Amino acid sequence: MRLDGPAPQIKKVRVAGSEYQLVSVCKNHDCAENNLVLLWASASQTLYGKVLHRGRPILVGAPPPLVAAELERIWKAEWRSGK
């Protein structure tokens, strides 16, 4: 899948006591079914994410429960908030 659609600016967020860079992007003209949010911690070289590919959700990086819950909240705010 090509993620060439809207991509908000990368920003710093704090999740479960750690600082991450939040990245989100979607497929042009198909954001509803193909998008992602990623949390990247450069200090620990850790990447977690939620990818929605053809409407199917996939968690990336085996996030711990608190991080997985926050990824879900961020994903809903980014891609399901009616923006």
pLDDT tens figures, 13-35? 999 999 999 999 999 999 899 99
pTM: 0.89
Q: Using CA atoms, how far apart are residues 81 and 63, in angstroms rounded to an integer? A: 23
What mean pLDDT, rounded, does the chain reach?
Answer: 93
Confidence of residue 52 (pLDDT cuts 50, 70, 90): very high
Q: Using CA atoms, how far apart are residues 53 and 45, in angstroms rounded to an integer? A: 24
pLDDT at residue 1 in the model: 61
- Structural domains in the chain, CATH included, are 11-79 (3.40.1420.10)
